[in-house]
Structure 1
Amino acid sequence: MGNIFSISLSLDPIITRCWDCATGQASYICNLEDNLHAFQAEVAGLKELRSDLMSRVRIAEDEQQLKRLNQVEGWLSRAETLINDADQLIVQSPQHVENLCMGGCCSTHPRSSIKFGKKIAKKLLEVKDQKENGDFSDVASKQPLPSATERPSEPTVGLESNFNKVWSCIQKEQVGISGIYGLGGVGKTSLLNQINNKFHDTTHDYHVIWAVASQDRPIERVQDQIAKRIGLSNEGWKYIEEKAEDIFQVLCKKKFALLLDDIWEWFDLTRAGVPIPTQENGSKVIFTTRRLDVCCQMQPNRDNNIRVECLPPGEAFKLFEEKVGSETLRMHPDICKLAEAVVEECAGLPLALITIGRAMASKKTPREWEYAIEVLRQSAASVLPGVGKEMYPKLKFSYNCLPDERFRSCFLYCSLYPEDYLIKKDRLVDCWIGEGLLDEHTNLSNARNQGHFIIGSLIDACLLEKGQYNDRVKMHDVIRDMALWIAGESEKEKFFVKSGVQLKEQPKAKKWAEVTRMSLMENQIENLTEILECPNLQTLFLGSNDLKEVIWGEMEEVPDVAVDGYRRGWFGRLNFCDLALS
């Protein structure tokens, strides 16, 4: 007998699922138009919400200098993607609506309509969900301050050794304050820029702050820059002390490096709210100044103050070539040699090399270069583009910052000597005394002490340089040219200086009557026989000439003139030797 198996299967669940599936698929077609209208309305609402949120973000970023929150950035990014996808579906929708029939319950292309209907329904839910998550009480917050902010800078020439000295000084734990000093235009700010960008490019635990001082209200100006850098924006400050207290409360909790550019006098860190750097707090202050005395007031240890020197000849020519352009130097075989003479007249000062290099970039003939050399040697460089309007005014700040007119007159007096002339300090002071440039003193010793004090101050201001021997000083060539430019602009002083320019005959001038100080030193003049009418002349330098005859003209009285010479001769009735002061 064989076994009999019976199988019983219920068809009701299968039929039910099939029916549900069929009706569910059909619902995508039946609800397509309603879903499309709702979809378009929700997308429009999402666009409005995104626009409003973006306006809030822009105000926070542009006006309040805040950084948008990551969750806000993420929401905006997702909304942007959703809106783009939605716009594409809306563009495609008219074709699918046209396929509907029987009052929107069927479609001539049912499979395509069902597929599109599914997309609309899904995106509708996504857009609603995105709108619900778009309610932000805050859209931005204060951004964390970077340890250092990179500063724009140009490639530099010849500052590598100075940079290494300063950076090495910063690395020393026992050194909290370092000074960078030197002549105006020598590259101090460029060097400080390099220090700032070194901090930016390396890993360290300093909070680096860049601030520029000024001659007018330096503490307040520096405070404003520090406050902005450390995130303080309290507009309720009325006094320096209030601002200093808030700055101190922040900085005393940080290890900071304050890079302070261009100070002209002792800067009171404490009054500004800057904690004094110590080995314990590890903070640093690095500053630039044109004055050695300011360096010593800020940091008495001279080993921690670095002087930026002018460039040696090779590096000076390299910098000049960068600014004038190698194409110009190759325009004629003689130009390169003439360029060397121009560079020599700049005496290694980067500001002069850059300014005059740019001025000569368009000069393509030897004659133009020969003229430039002539005006540089005649201390008339102000005729070159950019020199009188750009270079000299920058250098003149050092002159303007001298204590008073007495110091300024003594400084200008030094320009009467030839280029690179080693001036004996004692002789210079005697001239100042004879000219009445110093204060009235009870005795000669006190007057000479004041003279030497002024010389020291001019050295500290980098307006005079120490000579090879301790008893002598000299003027940098460009500073001397600047001094003569100042004297030429003056209404009180009228200088006529032709010293060291190889004159063989008595020079010519249009307005002798206005000349107050004249120098014809270090020439080859043998005779001064033409009668000169110089009623305002106070000083006459004739040293190191081949004078054989000097006639000033017929006069009843000897003029009140200081005469400096090294050969015997006759000046009217005045017999002069090494130094004769009337």
Structure 2
Amino acid sequence: MADALVGATIRITLEKAVGIASDQIGVVYGFKEDLVKFKASVEMILAVLADAEEEQPKQQAVQLWLKRLEGLAYEADNVLDELNYDVLRQQVETGKRNGNQLKGKVRSLFHSNSIGFRWKMGQKIRDLNKKLNIINEEANSFGLKSQLGGSGTKATLLPDISRTVMVNRETDSVVFPNIVGREHDKFKIVQKISSETSNVIYVLPITGMGGLGKTTLAQSIFNDQQIERHFDLKIWVCVSEDFEVTRIFRLILESLTRRKVDVASRDVIVQEIRKEIEGKRYLLVLDDLWNEIPLLWTDFYRSLTGISTTRGNWCLVTTRQLQVATVVATYPPYSLGKLSDDDCWTIIKDKMIGSGEVPEELQVQEKEITKWCQGLPLVAIVIGGMLRMTRKEEWLSIVKNGLLKSTGDDCSVMQILKLSFDHLPSLSIKKCFAYCSMFCKDFKIERRKLIQLWMAEGFLQSNLENEVMEEIGDKYFRVLVDSSLLHEEISSDKRTFGRMHDLVHDLAQSISRCESIVLNSSGEITPKNSEVISSSLRSLFPRSPISEDLVPKLKNLRVLDLSSANTVELPTSIGKLIHLRYLEFPHTQIKTLPESLCKLYNLQTLKFNCISPMDLPEQMSKLISLRHLSYYNNDRKVQMPLGMGRLTCLQTLDFFNVGEEKGRQIEELGCLRDLKDGKLTVLI
């Protein structure tokens, strides 16, 4: 099967490697000529890449060639990034933080490199060149056509498209949740659940296929003013595929208290819920329920009915499966129907152009366009979002060559979603979209964290001077939202989150082969499953701590998120992960951080929270690439590292404890001119 993203991966990865392979690095390490050959070989490969992507569905040999090229691209990225790491190390040791100062120090830096290291890296570059030459020869044997312009003209690496992806179309006034065509459904359900009060709790399932808007309808009911007046408490729980009774009760308690619950005992959790809801009438929404095992539901329902004696409580359940509805219902299930073509067209217009006028030539195609919606609001939203992100002049062409080109059984919801993906305006955005496939269904991730993960993976590179990676990430996030491939939610504390519809998540998984692992089930890293953790892994989200002997297997890791790992100690060998850009371990019981952490010169984002006060490592000022440091402690005894002012890339710093010693005083903050994200607390 052809890989929809292999070409994007190769191009982005090789262009990033070429960006690192500067002439200065070649001079410093003594193999400038080898790097010139490397860049020339990469340019030749990129020139035939587009033709190879077109041929891969037809020729299995080309598919295999692209696979090998992808592996070679990652190898090149790792080699050049290792050189970049060594340059950063030298900048730390010589006190030169500005890359422009490297040029004047070439001679001294050359002598600071060991002969062994220069020989090893030179050999790696020469090996890369040999492999690239073989790849180029194979491309010629396949008859792949080059995109070289003119005779003897070099192929130009494609510039990053981030500066052109924002179409700046007219914004619309539609506020989520959009319930076009669902007013009658909402009215009927609101009337039911605000009038029946005889029983302690009623369970009403809302059923229907994916994309019908079950969750949107439930959200609209949840936020209705009549519901606000009728119920004392409202609880929203996203269940998804993991129906574990204690977990559901924990999520209910977290929804009630707005705080994370770390208690393991089910009885303690249930008793805490009883205290919160005692004497109050509540509405509970269990969104996206899949489990159809009666015993599990009976166990949950028995405890739920015993928690409160107050009458008139309601539980709304959204589910695709009629079997689930049959198991849980105490009130006849509400089956959600499809939208009319007129409603679908209203959604498309609102998403596409807001209050503007639809071009006449497109209005002529209204019936044909709405036919492909199949009555599903999700598809209407995606079609509108796809057109929104393109110029009006291209709309008719997209409709005729995309939507209307499909016929009969060949057209499906997934096909429409894939069409929207195909029309994303840059390869980098496609990689950012695909990266979301590694999160579980119904994931909800903060925008800033998602952008920091994209940045760590190298998806946010720019050829423009003074363009900040975080700003590129913001643009990409907005493109995915405007394309309706990502849904934006804003929390009560004004933080922005991204979420994917299940069907969109299915699309992301179908086109993605992310070099990442999110360990599920128990989440433990055991000798058995550690075998799947290869040196090519770039992102790891474990649910158990990582050990010292696992670190060598993670040598090319870019992201390590220990949010679910219950970490009590970081391995002292963490400093060997020289490519690491993102490290997070919140709610940790760690009491001290290893000094080896300060060898992560590529680290861009560091996030952690500690149960007890903890000093930061003394050498932390060596993390010269650090852009986001999220750590807060209001204990005045906590001492800041010396020379925090050297971290001139910092944009996020949660707190600074002013000390008396030089290097810990308030003037350190004066050097941090890029600080802008979040809030900074200064303790004096």
> Which of the five TM-score ranges fits, normalised by the shorter chain?
0.3 to 0.5
TM-score (norm 2): 0.32
Q: With the length of structure 1 as denominator, give the TM-score of the two structures.
A: 0.37
Higher-Rg structure is: 1
